[in-house]
Each structure stands twice: as structure tokens, then as C-alpha cells.
Amino acid sequence: MSTRGFGELATSLLTKVGKRKSYADGTGDPVRALSYDVDDRRAQPWVRLGDGSRKQLHVWRDSLLLTLKELRQKQRYEGFRGWNRLQANDLLIYEALLARMDAETGKLYPELVTIAADAGLSKQTVIDALKRIGSHGFISWVRRSKVVPDNEGQAGPQRAQTSNAYFIDFRALRAKCKQAWFRVKALVSRRLKGLGAAIAKLAKDVTEGSELALALSRVERLVLERESNIPALPPRRG
């Protein structure tokens, strides 16, 4: 066999193997490459934003959204024409995605159709937007698959694709868009500082309010005691 013929044969075999690996064993149902089982630790890359409270989650989420918006404005001002130029719908989709994040654990794995429904856009629009957003480091994801429970009569366990696991990879954000990373850090720091001051003031107001309530209660008690010492008016005559 000639060198050319051998090369063509090898290419053909590799192509077939590659296609076979992209399908679940024995089913023909497509499973994307590098898809990890939902119970695999690699399929659970979630990162909690903040201390697990919803207040800090909102601070981080709003800071990420504002930074992404500013990056889009910067691209428009500079006339950026790359394939990953951010669009208005990207902001809606990013907001809809982050709104699904669990505050305590950072878990985030909505279906694409769910994100699309939340944002009021199509599934394909969501796919394209996530690619653009991810290219700038604002979102990362891991493909996941799961075992199909009903596999009676099959040679082995069958698998099916399920929703991606989404997370904020700050190392990726810093590597792909360093200015955006520093901007997010600055916004979060400033807002958390303001949040802390607001909470401290609220606690102080509550304390002062409690003291005022006690003072009013004492005044009220003294008034009642004074009234109780005043003799009742004599009955009217005639």
C-alpha cells in the first residue's frame, strides 16, 4: 500500500473512532465530548460568590453585569468588530443566567431552554451569547451527562446529555480580560464596604429606636400613674 493510501485509511479510521466516542455506548444518542457524569466532581465546578448570603451574591452579580456592560460600551466606542463583539441580548442572557445561581453553594445548571425563557429569547441566541460572554472570561461551563435509568435489554449503561454546569472562573476572567477582573474587584470592594456601613448604621438605628421605645414607655407609664392619682370627678347633680 502506498504512503498516500495508508494515510487516507488512517484518517478514515480516526474519524470513525472520533464519531463513535461522541455517542453513548450502544444507543446512538449523542453525548458531547468531555462530558462528565453529574456525580463526578469534575462536573461540579461551582464557585460561591461572596459569603453565601443573598446580599453578597447580589453585590457580585451586579458588579459582573455592570463590568460586562462597560466592556460592551468600550467595544462599541473603539469600533471592535471581532466575532465575540458583545450584543445587547448578551446582557439579558447573562443576567438571566446569574439569577439562577444558588447563593449558598454557587450551583448553576439551568437548561438552555430555561435561560432562553427567562430572557425572552431563542435557544440559539442563548448559545451564541454564551460563547461570546465565555470568550471574555465572564462565564465558564462543564458539559455533563447522566445515566438513562431505563436501559432494559441494553448491553450496558446508557448515557444522555444533560445541562451544563456553569461557574465564574476568576482565573479565566483575569487571563482573558484583566481590566475587567480588576474592575469587578473594585466594584465589589466598594459595594461591600458600603453595604457594611449601611448594615452598621441600620443596627445603630435599631438600637437607638429601641432606647427611644423604652423612654416612651417610661413616659407613658408615668402619665398613667399620674392619672391614676387624680381623684375621679364627682357625679353631676341634677
Q: What is the pLDDT, as a whole number, of residue 193?
A: 86
pLDDT averaged over every residue in the chain: 78
Q: What is the pLDDT, as a whole number, of residue 104?
A: 95
The arithmetic mean of pLDDT across residues 26-32, rounded, is 54
Provide the grid cell at 169.
472562573
The arithmetic mean of pLDDT across residues 140-168, rounded, is 83
Q: What is the pLDDT, as a whole number, of residue 99?
A: 97
User: For the segment 184-202, what is each residue's pLDDT rounded down to a tens digit?
Assistant: 999 999 998 876 655 555 4
Q: What is the pLDDT, as a whole number, of residue 13?
A: 43
Q: What is the pLDDT, as a whole number, of residue 213?
A: 53
Measure the CA–CA gap between 118 and 162, rounded to whole angstroms: 19
Measure the CA–CA gap between 217 and 234, rounded to whole angstroms: 31
pLDDT greater at residue 205 or residue 61: 61
| CB under 8 A, 24+ apart: contacts of 83-86 | 83/132, 84/131, 84/132, 84/135, 84/136, 85/132, 86/132, 86/133, 86/136
Q: What is the pLDDT, as a whole number, of residue 32?
A: 72
Task: Tell me: pLDDT of 147 over 70.
Answer: yes
Q: What is the pLDDT, as a whole number, of residue 158?
A: 81
User: For the segment 12-26, what is each residue's pLDDT rounded down to a tens digit?
Assistant: 443 343 333 433 333
pLDDT greater at residue 128 or residue 6: 128
Q: What is the pLDDT, as a whole number, of residue 223?
A: 45
Measure the CA–CA gap between 76 and 70, rounded to whole angstroms: 10
Task: Tell me: pLDDT of 219 over 70.
Answer: no
Poorest-confidence range of 154-168, 189-203, 223-237? 223-237
Q: What is the pLDDT, as a whole number, of residue 83?
A: 97
Task: Tell me: pLDDT of 46 over 80.
Answer: yes
